[in-house]
Amino acid sequence: MSTLTVWKFQSAEGAEAVEATLISLQKEGLIKILDAAVVSWPSDRSKPRTKQLHNLVGASALSGTFWGMLFGLIFLMPLLGAAIGAAAGALGGKLADVGIDDDFIAEVKEKVTPGTSALFLLTMNEVPERISRALPDGGAELLHSNLDSGSEARLRDVFGDDAV
């Protein structure tokens, strides 16, 4: 089973700073990362920066389309307003179909704010506590949504990278 976890850090640089730790855990066989992305939101910016972490993932990674759509729905909708509300509703429905529900989106939107960052991980068979123990003490707050194998398959069908 795959697990989508979101780790919120109290600084805009915190999420990117743990990339080396995750690479080490993966090389040691302690975790299997299917895909990963970082959102960093400096307090002097009106919107966050996003980056897919290609160093952590192999050929099974989702396309950037998935991350772009998810991050757009979470962070840009308040800026875009009702003009694209119907399209956003359809997108939200697609994400709900793959196990990412409105409560998850609302929680991330509420907690990842200017001056913070977040690490989004799609992992295989991971216990979040294993990842938590490897992160800096008190440095991250866990938000998560579990995906069953059916949801994972739908996620790959909808957002998989055609180049894979």
Pick from 1-5, 44-48, 57-61, 151-155: least confident = 57-61
Q: What is the pLDDT of residues 65-95, one digit of tens each?
A: 677 777 777 776 544 444 444 444 444 455 5
- The pTM of this model reads 0.74
Which segments of the chain does DSSP mark as H helices, in order?
A: 14-17, 19-27, 64-71, 77-80, 85-97, 102-111, 128-134, 149-159
CA atoms within 13 A on the CB side of 36: 24
Q: What is the pLDDT of residues 40-53, one digit of tens each?
A: 999 999 889 888 88
Backbone angles phi, psi at 114, to 5 degrees: -50, 135
> How large is the C-alpha radius of gyration of the chain?
15
Tokens of 147: 């995906």
